[in-house]
Copies of this chain bind each other. A is one copy, B any other.
């Protein structure tokens, strides 16, 4: 059970509702996921995080699917269940196949393994990598 009750669309203040509307319009869906309904208790943070997400996840030098894969990679590493679930769903919508998911998580697993090995052996950074 969460720290607070999610603020439903029908109960949102105009300030919160404006963000909800932009989320739904941007994503072309008619619902808002719980993450935003929780941030809605703190409207300044809701607005800030949403505008950040729009900027950061927009197409650029990296395409939006790659950005979602990176988001899942971080979330799996941190063990954030909510974020793994929501960004895996987002990656699916952007075209992630089962094979891509398998390879993504294989890389995430390897990276976590070799991070621990490098830390455990205290490997010095090679001059060539500087």
Contacts and interface: CB of A to CB of B under 8 A. Distances in A.
B49 A89 contact: no
B121 A2 contact: yes
Q: How large is the interface on A (under 10, 10 to 19, 20 to 34, 35 or more residues)?
A: 35 or more
Interface string A3-14: 110100000000
A108 to B, nearest CB: 5
B45 A102 contact: yes
- A-side binding surface: helix, strand, loop or mixed? helix
Interface string A23-44: 0000000010111001101101
23 contacts: A3-B85, A3-B120, A3-B121, A33-B129, A41-B98, A42-B99, A42-B105, A44-B102, A45-B106, A48-B56, A56-B110, A62-B107, A70-B73, A77-B116, A80-B119, A81-B122, A82-B118, A84-B119, A84-B122, A85-B126, A105-B116, A109-B117, A112-B115
A18 interface: no
A66 B123 CA distance: 24
Given A121-B2, A122-B84, A109 B100 contact: no
Most chain B CB within 10 A, of A4, A82, A117, A130, is at A117
